[in-house]
Each structure stands twice: as C-alpha cells, then as structure tokens.
Structure 1
Amino acid sequence: MHQASPEMGVTINAAGWQTNVHDTGTGQPVMLIHGSGPGVTAWANWRLVMPSLASERRVVAPDMLGFGYSERPADQRYNKDRWIAHAIGVLDELKLEQVDLVGNSFGGGLALALALKYPHRVRRLILMGSVGVSFPLTEGLDAVWGYQPSLERMRELLDIFAYDRSLVNDELAELRYNASVRPGFQESFAAMFPAPRQRWIDMLASDEDQIRALPHETLIIHGRDDQIIPFDASLRLFDLIPNAQLHAFGKCGHWTQIEHAERFAQLVNNFLNEADKAEQAEN
C-alpha cells in the first residue's frame, strides 16, 4: 500500500479512539509519547531517533488523542486522565503488558502520571524536557500553546524550541506549519490549552508525595537552555524521584531528541539495556 505521508503509521482502536501509531522493531517494547507543540505528530517528534531505538527494541509511538492523525473527540475535552486512558488503550490493543516509557515535555507529564497510576505497566521511565511538577508559565510555553497558524509564527516558535537554529531549518518550519493547518488540527489544538495557561501546567503535574514514592528507575534528560520547560523543572523531578539519574545538555534547547538525536538515542538505549541485562541475570 502506498503511504501518503511518513507521519502515517497503522490505525488501531485504542480505548475506543481511532489512533495512528508507529510500531517498528522487535524485542522489549518502548513507548514514546510526543510533546504538545502545534502540528505535532509522533513521527515529527521522534523520526530522528526511532530507527536507532528500533534497531534494539520494539518502538511504539502513537499520535495522542486529539493530535496528528488520531481521532479528535467531538466534545473537545482534553485532560490528563483522558490522555492516560488513551495511552493505556494503545498498550492494551497491542497486548503490551509492560513497556519502557519515554515522554517528551507534555508527554513526560503523561508518562510520569501513567507510571504513578499503573506502576506495573511501566518497566523504566525516561522524561525529556518534561512537565510533571508545577512551575511558573514561561513565555516560551505560552507562545507554543497560544500559537495562531502562520509560517512566520512557526519559524519564530522553532527559534524558541532550538538552541542552534541551524539544526531546525525552514523545511521543518514548513512541515510543522503545514501540519498545523490540516483540517481539524488547529481547532483541537486551540481547545487543549486556552488562556490562562498556568492551569494546564498544574493539570499535567503529579502530586509530589506520590512522585517521591515512585519506584521506577528513571532517566531525566533536559537541555540546559530550554526556553519552554525550565531546566529547574527537571532538577525538581531529580530531587523528588528516588531512583533517578539526570543528564543535561549544554547549548541545547527544548528538543534534545532533534538537536542531539544520536546522543539521545544512545543514552536511552544504554539505560534500557541495563534493565535488559538485569532481567537476564535474574532469569
């Protein structure tokens, strides 16, 4: 079958929602949850690291409810519980009892909350440029969530996303802009995070006492120069999560997986390989 776009994977029914998901590679499964920028899809977020990760494991990367090529609820209601139910629906439909979980930004907030609510479904956790604790709304995040479609505006956003703009070219700006104006995309996006926007950071945050009790081995990754999610948010998560390690990149903005794709994939593979080895030793 000829695929119209590399952003299209396969369509599954997850918790009753038609869901676009990329499912590639074999072995221990890892699920990737994308961020919440305008025009985002799983493919746009993860395309540079999926091949490397899929060379060692099975990679599952859904377009989350209301994003990309997945269904948009008619009631346009979006919240953490609904997104988590959708993510669990993906795992159930693909018969994945337990996965390693990688969350980017908004996706990190969901990944953390999912691990707290369904600890047995997650083996190891990776949070990248993640929300999950409360912090004051940044100008960068306000601009991302308040996006009004134009190519110029998208170019400006990419300047905020990336430390080194040469890594994030106008071709990507055009890709993301075109994605943001597809039928239904902006309508659902505008319904997700209307102003005042501090409440959505707080909605995506998890209870700090619960985070302190999180049992999972967790890798936290952040760009030191992130203008969207402050580095302090990851420092706070590192402070709270007992079994955490923190890796920070200097001269890096919000898109570690794009600005440092190779290093990011290597970090993730190494971290998950440790878990593979520990399991093999036990068996």
Structure 2
Amino acid sequence: MTDNPEIGRRIRTGGFETNYHDRGEGPPVLLIHGSGPGVSAWANWRLTLPALAGRYRAIAPDMVGFGYTERPEGITYDLDTWCRHALDVLDALDIGRAHIVGNSFGGGLALALALRHPERVGRLVLMGSVGVSFELTPGLDTVWGYTPSVENMRGLLDIFAYSRELVSDELAEMRYQASVRPGVQEAYAAMFPAPRQRWVDAMASPEDEIRTLDAETLIVHGRDDRVIPPENAHRLHELIGPSQLHVFGRCGHWTQIEHAHRFNRLVSDFLAEAGDSL
C-alpha cells in the first residue's frame, strides 16, 4: 500500500506492468493523459475520475514511458507502441470496446486508435488534441524540451494554465519532483528530441483517413491554449463528420482542470447519449 495517489493498481500488459486507476461501474471509459514532463494519469485526470465514476467505469493508465508504468529497456516510443499499449490495457482488463477520452498527446493517440481499431472504440472525446499536422508552437517546444528544475517547471505551468491562481510554488515543486524520479527524465528526453516538428507530424493521422471516422466525437479546446493551437480543434471538427466542438474561453491547455465541473458534465452527458451499450 502507498499514500501516493499517483500509484493505483498494476496489471500485466504485453511484456511489462502498467500502473492504472480503475473507478466506478458501467460502460468503460479509457482516459489517456498528455505528454508533459512528470505527467501521470492521476495528475491529468484526478478531477475527472471521481466525476465519471458515478456513471461509468473510468480507467486511466500511465502510458508506457510516463508515470509509474514499467519502462522496458530498448522500447521505441512512438504512436505504434502507444496504440499497442492502449489495446493491451483493454485486453488485460477483458474490455472489448470502450469510449476513449484523450488529452493533447492522448488525443492524438485516441484518434489513431479509433481509426486503426474502430471495433474497439465507442464514442471519442478529443481535448486540446494533437492528431493533425500543425506548426510547432513555442509552448509545445518548451514542454517537450523541458530540462529539470523547479524554475523550469514553474514556467511550464504558466504556459499550461490561463489562470495564475492555478499555479503555485507547491504545485511546481510537486511536478518537478515527479519529473526527476529515476528513469523519468531519461525516458522523456528520448521521446521528443529536437527538431520537434517531426514529432508533431508523427502524432498526426492522415486527413483522408480522419474524414472516414464514424465515431461520434466531442472536441474540446481552450480558446487561450498556448501549447496546442485552437485551430487544431476547428480542423478536427471540419474533418470529422459526426463531431461537435466546444471551446472554453479564459482557458489554456488544462480544460479538465481549469473548468473541471463543466468539462466533466459535458463529457458525461455526451457519453450518456450512447446509452449502456457499446
């Protein structure tokens, strides 16, 4: 047992063990976190998990390379690896089909899953999502180029959040400590080395394939996002026929934290439209 809330349950997924959180009962919802330094499923979804758990089975894994999931030596960090890991999580939990909620990097992964394995995906929520090509923003370049220090982490938090009230020295210290756990920075530095435009493009799915997507999709973005441009959301909305777009004003890259109550209600109601069947 541990008092660290980032550590949940462990399950064997392919050739390594995955740390994940599993809350509630009902239709399964897989929550895929973003790619910030020191990130974990709990850090991204700590306000979302309990809100969804009243109606759904909310599952949030630490994707390989992040959080407290095992990091196999020699693993290649790319879209194929992360898609395989997500499917292995569902398989290990004996879940044939799930709704998918993806944040930023996790949105690009969720989109790829829906395109490559539509039989495994119910409804789709893309929040502050990559998944289409765009010009690397200074904000994302800074996030992916992070080198550990409390000062640098504080600077990242200022980029992520619209409201300075969400950014504190305590939060910066906590996220810094998460980013310097053994093996964390080494894995992170290996994922997105400069020049970083290539990793934006590597996380994108072909637009002609995106146009074929049949999954009902909710696209959510912060109007003031300095990491992933809001234009991404509008482009995804144009490409995905069965989609709806919700843009939050006075909101940066942390929609699920900055507007937690409204985000949770929006997602829960959207998924509820599918009923109990997947």
Do both share a fold (TM > 0.5)? yes
Task: Report what 1:30 is aligned to.
Answer: 29
Work out the number of aligned pairs and report it: 278
Deviation sequence 1:117-154 (CA, Å, 0-9, x none): 00010000000000000000000000000000000100
Question: What's the C-alpha RMSD, in Å, of the aligned pairs?
Answer: 1.1
Deviation sequence 1:71-117 (CA, Å, 0-9, x none): 11311421000000000000000000010000000000000000100
* In 2, Cα distance between equivalents of 1:267 and 1:171: 30
**Between the two proteins, what is the percent identity of the paired residues?**
64
- Amino acid of the structure 2 residue aligned with 1:200: W
* In 1, Cα distance between equivalents of 2:164 and 2:94: 40
The alpha-carbon deviation at position 30 of structure 1 amounts to 0.2
Q: Normalising by structure 1, what TM-score? A: 0.96
Task: Report what 2:9 is aligned to.
Answer: 10
Structure-to-structure mapping, 1:1-283, within 5 angstroms: 2-276=1-275, 279=277
* In 2, Cα distance between equivalents of 1:74 and 1:265: 37
Q: Normalising by structure 2, what TM-score? A: 0.98
* Preserved contact between residue 103 and residue 109 of structure 1 (Cα < 8 Å): yes
Unmatched runs of 5 consecutive residues or more in structure 1: none
> SS in structure 2 opposite 1:245?
strand
Mean CA deviation greater in 165-174 or 79-88: 165-174
* In 1, Cα distance between equivalents of 2:260 and 2:75: 33
> SS in structure 2 opposite 1:134?
coil
* In 1, Cα distance between equivalents of 2:114 and 2:167: 32
* Preserved contact between residue 76 and residue 188 of structure 1 (Cα < 8 Å): no
- Amino acid of the structure 1 residue aligned with 2:113: L
- Amino acid of the structure 2 residue aligned with 1:54: A
* In 2, Cα distance between equivalents of 1:110 and 1:172: 27
Unmatched runs of 5 consecutive residues or more in structure 2: none
- Amino acid of the structure 1 residue aligned with 2:275: D
The alpha-carbon deviation at position 168 of structure 1 amounts to 3.0
- Amino acid of the structure 1 residue aligned with 2:256: Q
- Amino acid of the structure 2 residue aligned with 1:26: E
> SS in structure 2 opposite 1:64?
coil
* Preserved contact between residue 154 and residue 167 of structure 2 (Cα < 8 Å): no
- Amino acid of the structure 2 residue aligned with 1:17: F
> SS in structure 1 opposite 2:235?
helix
